[in-house]
Amino acid sequence: MTTKPGAAAQTRSERSDTRSLVLNGELLIYGVIDPYLWDEFDTSVRAIDVMASLAELSADETINVRINSPGGSVIEGLAIYNALKAWGKPIRVQVDAMAASIASIIAMAGDEIVMAENATMMIHDPWAVAVGNADDLRAMADEIDRQKAILINIYAAKSGLSAEEISAMMASETYMSAGEAVARGFATSVAEAMRTAACARLSNDQLARLLVAPIKLRAERPSPAAPAAQPQETIMVDPVPGGGTPAAAPPAAPPVTVPSAPPVDTAAVRAEAVRLERERTTGILAQARSARISADDPFVVALLNGDRQLIDARADIMEEWARRQETRDDNPPGDPRPSGIVVNADSVDRWVQGAQRGLMIRAGLVKSEDADRGNEFVGLTLAEMARSALTMRGVRNGHRDRMSMVGLAFTTMNAGPGYHSSSDFGNVIQNVAYRAMMRGYEEVDESFPLWTGTGTASDFRPIARVDLGLFPNLDKVEEGAEYTYGTIADTGTTVQIASYGKMFAITRQAIINDDLGFFDRVPRRMGRAAKRTIGNLVYAILNGNPTMQDGVALFHANHGNLAGAGAAISVASVGAVEAAMGVQKDEAGIGTSAGVVPKYMLVPITLKMAANTIMTAANTPGDGAQIANPVRGLATVVADSRLSGTAWYMAADPAQTDTIEVTYLDGVQEPFMDQREGWSVDGTEFKVRMDAGVKALHWRGLYKQPGA
């Protein structure tokens, strides 16, 4: 059985937890639609208050509802709408300024919907904030769609528009003026300007609610001893339309005396005044906070202590904010325009950041921190993350199987401002794969950077490297004589870089199988391989003994850098190498007192212990006389598995003497990763490449001992 609310109306005295929204015989829906009152001064509109107020108006034949609301809770708004529709009496709705969001649904409850000439109505899609796992988010999305369908039915029933038209208007968040709302069927008429009545007929309670003096003035006013006698009300005669002589007046009726009204409840007046003042104070502080003006700012304090109405105080705050923006220190020179706008990351940027961080945590590339506790992507599989990327872009994918859904995620991209060259999901995959590749690159403990030089090339063409050699002696310059130019030898060495790389693919099957190995093992190993490739090229020069620019092998007797007889590592053999390098001269036959000084000793892994013994022993190893070791600390031992046999080498400091140079494109010593949508595979392909070149610039700084 159904019961109309009007059939069993309660008075407000029976519900002490409700508030009256009735003023001057009208139901006022002024404020945010919210089921909760956060404090006693909150102006939110609750459904329970609307029902209690309808009970107050149970004697009225027509319920007059006035609306000025930005909207609020969908569920609470639907409860208000249903209460008005079920009341069983004609409902006349007047939109005084704004009926937005769910407030526009409440307006649809009116049998007559009148809008002020300057009023606005706005409709849009419902939205919500959700937290939880993937199933929770999908359930919330379904609930939002269900609520939208309910709202569409209400709008369509009132306006006569189709559901498709209503849905499009909601999706684009449509604002309508009074005339547009009438034209589209959302309102029945536009209100005309009202004439001011000569005298408002208000009850004492209503009069007390409206006519409240400011607190500081009321406090100075003494309470009246007794109410003053009420003046007699005179019936006013309307003038004759169009002017002219009035018709003969009927015989004068005896004056009617209006009985005196009961005295005003001063306690209620005082309580209402306190409420209004606190509401004004709260509104001023909220507006100041929005304008980033502190509550103890002298400007705000002056507003609080003054008697400016809230609407005027809000305007003052915005003017003050604009004035302060004009005078900010960080404004561009000569440009007085405000510069207080802060650009924050949009929803796409936040999604990419959260998804990338979550995937890196799952792949073990980073450790989870306290800030990651709210990252919902940590719990998503790769397929769920792909679906999330589509949902974030508004791409419907519920009808797709997982294989086609993942494929769509790899290709869907932003077509508006902030265009991405690849999909959001693909960007996340690439960024995480790149981090894994760099982790592998940095993990490799390569030895070649210790003793080789580093160069830079801007392209892939051969580049001449000039061997500065040793600069000639300075000439004595007599008084008044001219300085002469010195000559520098040029050996004509050229270096050229090349690209080295491999490809790998992340398939849709790997995404569906949630195979995180593709984000750890594969890219990480590719990063290691990139660095090892350069090391292989460096040690290939030592092992291969290439021909130099003079047509002679790198290590050759003609270059004075190859021992005539092999010798094991010992104090004597190391001393012999040091002596041989010390007598090296440049192309012009110029030497120095120290010659070329060895700094690094390059040995196979099998000779590492012997080399370290010679370089660190305080006394000459094997000498019973305990003679001091003359080569102690001469060079840093560098052992590498790519050197084999018995041969060992000495190398000079590359900053002092040209030895072997590793040249990088634009000086970038890290590998590159390129991505493209898979053509030969269902997924995405990645290419890891290094752009580098390795060349022995000169033989002078290198020496080879064949060993024994």
Output the CA angle 702-707-708, nearest 5 degrees. Answer: 175
CB atoms within 10 A of CB 416: 5
> C-alpha 46: how far from its chain's center?
35
Tokens of 350: 């936040």
Q: Of 376, 418, 372, give the one whose Cα is nearest residue 393.
A: 418
Q: Where are the beta strands (DSSP E) in 90-199?
A: 91-100, 112-115, 120-123, 174-177, 189-190
Return all residues near 297 (Cβ < 8 A) that are at least 6 apart. Answer: 288
Tokens of 27: 């139901």
C-alpha 617/C-alpha 20 separation (Å) is 97
Return all residues near 368 (Cβ < 8 A) that are at least 6 apart. Answer: 361, 378
Tally the C-alpha atoms within 13 A of residue 402's C-alpha that lie toward its C-beta: 13
Angle of helix 298-305 relative to helix 266-290, nearest 10 degrees, comes to 160
Identify the sign of the CA torsion 331, 337, 338, 339. Answer: negative
DSSP H or E stretch at residue 676: strand 672-677
Output DSSP code: residue 48. H
Return all residues near 560 (Cβ < 8 A) that are at least 6 apart. Answer: 580, 583, 584
Which residue out of 53, 101, 447, 573 is catalytically annotated?
101
C-alpha 83/C-alpha 109 separation (Å) is 9
Q: How far apart are the first and last CA of the chain?
A: 109
Which residue out of 73, 124, 423, 559 is catalytically annotated?
124
The yes-or-no answer on residue 698 being catalytic is no
Show the DSSP H helices in 291-423 as ranges: 298-305, 310-326, 347-362, 382-392, 402-411
Sheet bearing 702-705, strands edge to edge = 636-640, 598-604, 648-652, 702-705
As to burial, measured by CB atoms within 10 angstroms (0-12 exposed, 13-18 middle, 19+ buried), residue 155 is buried
The yes-or-no answer on residue 101 being catalytic is yes
Tokens of 99: 């009926």
User: In this structure, which amino acid lies at residue 513?
Assistant: N
Q: Of 435, 395, 407, give the one whose Cα is nearest residue 511.
A: 407
> Which residue is listed with tokens 């590719």?
526
Tokens of 391: 């949902």
Q: Are 261 and 229 in contact (CB under 8 A)?
A: no
Tokens of 93: 């709705």
Query: At 318, phi and psi to the nearest 5?
Result: -65, -40
> C-alpha 403: how far from its chain's center?
30
As to burial, measured by CB atoms within 10 angstroms (0-12 exposed, 13-18 middle, 19+ buried), residue 192 is exposed
| SS3 state of residue 241 | coil
Catalytic residues: 101, 124
